[in-house]
Amino acid sequence: MNDPIGLLAQWIDDAGGMETIEAIAMCLATARRDARPSARIVLLRGLDRRGLRFYTSYLSRKGRELAENPDAAAVFYWPQLQRQVRVEGDVTLLSDDESDAYFIARPRGHRLAAWASEQSEPLESYATLEERFTHFDARFEGEEVPRPHSWGGYLLVPSRFEFWQGRPNRMHERTLYLRSANDWNVTLLQP
C-alpha cells in the first residue's frame, strides 16, 4: 500500500475506530527550541489527507513548545494487535473556523474546562480549579460556551511514517514511508 494515511485509518479501525479512546490515543512528542523533548498522550481528533488533528491550549507546555519548534512526532501503540505507528512532521495551527467547529461539538463540561484550566500552570489546590469551573458555568449559563482564544487545533503534517507489525521470533515487519515531492517512498526495514 502506498497510502500511509489510509493505512493508519485502517489500523485505527482495526483497533476499535475513532470513537474508541484506546484506538486514538497517541503519544505526542514535542521539543523546545534547544531540542529538550517532552511527551504526553493526546487524542487524535481527525485524520485526512492533510494529516493528523489534535486540540489543546495554545498556552500549555506542548503549545508553547510547538510555537518555538514546530517539529513533532506521534506514536500509536495497540498491544493487542501487536502494532505500532510512528509519525513525524511539522505542526501548524488549524484555522479558527475548524477549531470553532470542533469546540462547539464537545460536551459542555469539556468546553467549560477549557476556560477553567490554565493548562500546565501550577495549581494551588484542586478546589481552586473546581471554583473556576463553577465560575465559568455560571458565566455562560443559558448560552453556548465560546472557544477561548487560547485554545484550538493543530495539524501534524506528516513527512515520515513507520508501521510496525509484531511477528513471531522478533521477525517484526517494519515499513517506512517518506514523503517525496508528489508521493510516498516506501522501504522495508529490518526488525
170 is catalytic: yes
Q: What CA–CA distance (Å, rounded) separates 175 from 190?
A: 9
pLDDT of residue 58: 97
**Which grid cell is 60?**
500549555
CA distance 22 to 98: 24
Segment 78-95, tens digit of pLDDT: 999 999 999 999 999 999
pLDDT the model gives residue 126 = 95
Q: Are strands 51-57 and 151-165 parallel, antiparallel or unpaired?
A: antiparallel
Give 62's contacts (C-beta < 8 A, 6+ positions apart).
Answer: 28, 30, 38, 40, 42, 56, 120
Mean pLDDT of 160-173: 96
CA distance 102 to 117: 18
Categorize the per-residue pLDDT at 75 as very low, low, confident or very high, splitting at 50, 70 and 90. very high
The pLDDT assigned to 182 comes to 85
Q: Are the CB atoms for 156 and 147 separated by under 8 Å? A: no
Per-residue cell: 177: 514511508
For residues 145-164, average pLDDT? 97
Residue 41 has pLDDT above 90, yes or no: yes
> Of these residues, 61, 170, 174, 179, which one is catalytic?
170
Q: Which domains does the chain have, with CATH numbers?
A: 4-99+152-189 (2.30.110.10)
